[in-house]
Amino acid sequence: MPAPVEFSADQVIYDSDADLVTASGAVRMNREGNYLAADEVVWDRKSGQVRAKGNVVVLTPQGDKLIGENVVLTDTLRDGTVNNLLVVLESGGRIAAARGSRKDGVTTLDNAIYSPCPVTGPKGCPRRPSWSITAVRVIDDPIHQKVRFESGRLQLFGLSLPLLPIFTVGTSNDGATGLLVPDISFSTKKGFELAVPYHWQIAPNRDLTVTPHVYTGVYPALEAKYRQLNQIGAFQLGGFLTYGTIESADPNSTTDEGRGLRAYGEANGKFQLDPLWSVTGAFRWASDKTVTRRYDLTRDDRLRNVINVERIAPDSYISIAGWAFQGLRVDDVQKQIPIALPAIDARVRVGDVFGGKVEVQANSLSIIRIDGQDTQRAFASAQWDWRRITSWGQELDLTALVRGDVYHTNDSASTDVAIYRGTDGWHSRGIAALAADLKWPFIGPAFGGIQRLVPRVQLVLTPPTPNLEIPNEDARSIDLEDSNLFALNRFAGYDRWEDGSRITYGVDWSLDRPNLSIMTTIGQSYRIVDRPDIFPDGTGLTDRLSDIVGRTRLRFGQLIDITHRYRLDKNNFAFRRNELDLTIGTDETYAQIGYLRLNRDIDPTIEDLRDKEELRVAGRVKFARYWSVFGASVIDLTGKEEDPLSLSDGWAPVRNRLGIAYEDDCLELGLTWRHDYEHIGAFRKGSTFGFHLALKGLGR
């Protein structure tokens, strides 16, 4: 039995002889989710024809809206014809046509134009869409969420461009099979590049994108990416394959390594096995050291591979992981790069013990090298933390730590840096520490706002601990700064322990008032027992009295944001670390300046702590409503006096970028020039020109 018609109108006239119903004035009809509104409706009950006139609106169950002046429908309100109509899609796009018909939910439009862009400006005035598609025929299938264009042309800023004779776009966010917008670029190394991605929507939870790359300067390439989402997680696989000249990474080489296959692969994903256990993995591989730079696949100079099985509970954590790396830098020797397998870490938090919290940790690590030093480590520790607020408003933290380590290493002589290698054989050590950290906040009005002054002092007691005979694999990059000033161990990893009791003191000050915020931190430490051997000269921690470190941040409304980090030499107050980050402007027009100088005079053979000086500038200017220009530059200011191994002469551009962009509600358009000065052996990147076009609202 057909569903009844819900019907309302200001006036209804029924001709019983002709079985004709004429309704006028705010006519509303609804049948099975098909809704009709018009000024007048004539319903011929014999033929089942419904003719609507004046301000006609038809709303489908899929959410699409058809607007016209004269519409003829069947009494199901699903099928019919209309002249001079407008279709408003549920996705937000609009289709206007001279004539249209609808059958079984599919709308066919003749001499139509489609655009997802707004047709009026902010003040309601008419405006031409940035882009639209005109076609002899348009078929809108809301059930399959596709729009098919026949004999279509792209109208871009009034310029008419030919399209494929027949093509389809999706109207949902789920994706559809078809060609994507091509990428166009030009570089001095590859010549003109055209990449045309093809997207295959295999299923709602799986897709594959295959992208052929055609170049005028090198051989073609093929890129592919597969993605899948399932009940326990998601993963993706990607790859890039080509054939061509392989540049030598040897800086002394004047010839290439010949021709051959060049490839890059990547995969990552995460699977939640149950509420507690999960598996995460990420893998990357390159066939040679220059393929990723030459084809703009990644800027990373080291590819990381990891698989990690984790159990995360409210009071416990377990991680069983494996790590491997591929080095792409000139001086990387792959057989000497470590592989960490396995890396196990387990932690459990225990309830109240003497009013504090106890965390028990067990850790094991095995590092192997194909050609080099191998190290195995295991330790167990327990840490007790107690925190109270005194009656005077002071914040007091007490910490107690005990830890036992076991190490084994061999081939230590193959490690070039003496302070890293340790000695061959088995080693064990015990670590113990007691710490008290006291903060005393003072808060009150000042300078028309609220200021906060927090003096802080910390006492750490720890006995002498063996360090140098134990290999250092994970605590090499040591440098005193504001972030680790009050750390229990200022080494970043576990292989080095900062023994020798010390006192650390500092002060935090902040001021908050309307449109102005200032925060500053400064501090220093004094070691009661002298331990100069474990810290390289220049780290700020070699002597009993450390260097002075601090950080200041000033924000003025949303316009100015300045952050200054520094380390001052305790003897002559020279800057050993001087870092400045400045942002001026709004989200649309701004300038950014970053400066970093590390002047620590550390032995240049310790690569993790080499000195450097760098300047970074970037900016964007919005010069019209939708137009902007942008640029960025990185300059290496390191000289031979700062780093004897540096390739810079005190002014060496690293990377420059300049572009112009247009962006409105439905279109992104941009032209970018980028020049990379980096080189890997005989390889030089050079300049790249990129053209970017994104049609918003054009589904896959």
Q: What is the CATH number of the domain that holds 57?
A: 2.60.450.10
- Please report which confidence band the pLDDT of residue 281 belongs to, taking 50, 70 and 90 as the band edges: very high
Distance CA 601, CA 642 (A): 7
Burial class (CB in 10 A: 0-12, 13-18, 19+), 331: exposed
Domain-located, residue 222: no
For 96-155, write each residue's pLDDT tens digit.
888 888 787 788 888 888 888 877 766 767 778 888 888 888 888 877 777 788 888 888
Q: Count each helix (H run) and each strand (E run) in the chain, helices first.
A: 2, 42
User: Does any domain span residue 25?
Assistant: yes
- Residue 403: the pLDDT is 97
> Three-state DSSP class for 293?
helix
Asked if pLDDT for residue 29 goes beyond 80, the answer is: yes
Rounded to an integer, the average pLDDT of 240-266 is: 85
Domain count, the chain: 1
Q: What is the pLDDT at residue 372?
A: 93
- Token pair belonging to 15: 């001709």
Q: Are 163 and 153 in contact (CB under 8 A)?
A: yes
Q: Which helix (H) or strand (E) holds 294?
A: helix 291-294
Contact 51, 72 (CB under 8 A): yes
* Spatial contact of 371 and 414, defined as CB atoms under 8 Å apart: yes
Please give the mean pLDDT across all residues of the chain: 88
**211 is written with which tokens?**
């992208």
The burial class, CB within 10 Å (0-12 / 13-18 / 19+), for 137 is middle
Position 471 in a domain: no
Mean of the pLDDT values across residues 394-413? 96
Q: What is the pLDDT of residue 674?
A: 93
Rounded Cα–Cα distance for residues 387 and 399 (Å): 9
CB atoms within 10 A of CB 513: 14
pLDDT digits (tens, 9 = 90+) for 55-84: 888 888 777 788 888 888 876 767 778 777
**CB-count exposure of residue 303 (10 Å: 0-12, 13-18, 19+):** buried
Give the span between the Cα atoms of 248 and 250, in whole angstroms: 5
Cα angle 99, 102, 106; round to 5: 120
pLDDT band at 177, cuts 50/70/90? confident
Digit-coded pLDDT (tens) for 434-467: 999 999 999 999 999 999 999 999 999 999 888 8
In a domain, 218, yes or no: no
- 161-179: average pLDDT: 74
317-329 mean pLDDT: 95
Backbone angles phi, psi at 296, to 5 degrees: 55, 45
Cα–Cα nearest to 81, from 72, 70, 94: 72
Range of the domain at 46: 6-131
Output phi, psi for 131, to 5 deg: -150, 155
235 neighbors 268 (Cβ within 8 angstroms): yes
What mean pLDDT is predicted for residues 691-697? 81
Is 335 domain-assigned? no
Report if residue 51 sits inside a domain: yes
Q: Look at residue 365 and tell me whether its pLDDT is greater than 90.
A: yes
Closest C-alpha to 538, from 439, 461, 643: 643
Contacts of 215-222 with C-beta under 8 Å, sequence gap 24+, read 215/190, 215/191, 216/190, 216/191, 216/192, 217/187, 217/189, 217/190, 217/191, 217/192, 218/189, 218/190, 218/191, 218/242, 218/244, 218/245, 219/243, 219/244, 221/295
Residue 1 has pLDDT above 60, yes or no: no
Instruction: Give me 595's structure tokens.
Output: 């400066």
**How much is the average pLDDT of 411-422?**
89
Is pLDDT of 469 > 50? Answer: yes
Q: Cα separation of 686 and 297, whole Å?
A: 15
**The whole model's pTM is what?**
0.82
- Neighbouring residues of 13: CB distance < 8 A, sequence distance ≥ 6: 21, 22, 23
Q: What was the pLDDT predicted at 274?
A: 95
Q: Which pLDDT tens digit goes with each residue over 583-625?
A: 999 989 999 999 999 888 877 677 666 788 999 999 999 999 8
Measuring CA to CA, which residue among 223, 218, 193 is closest to residue 208?
223
pLDDT at residue 700, rounded to an integer: 40
- Check pLDDT > 70 for residue 645: no
Question: Could you check whether the bond before residue 162 is cis, i.e. omega within 30 degrees of 0?
Answer: no
Report the chain's C-alpha Rg in angstroms.
34
Asked if the structure places residue 104 within a domain, the reply is yes
In degrees, rounded to 5, the angle at the alpha carbon of residue 607 between the alpha carbons of residues 605 and 610 is 90
CA-based nearest residue to 34, from 62, 15, 72: 62
Rounded to the nearest 10 degrees, how much is the dihedral formed by the CA atoms of 567, 570, 571, 573? Answer: 40
Is 50 exceeded by the pLDDT of residue 236? yes
Environment class of 538 (CB within 10 Å of its CB; exposed 0-12, middle 13-18, buried 19+):
buried
Rounded mean pLDDT, 258-280: 95
Within a domain: 633:
no
Looking at per-residue pLDDT, the higher value among 484 and 700 belongs to 484
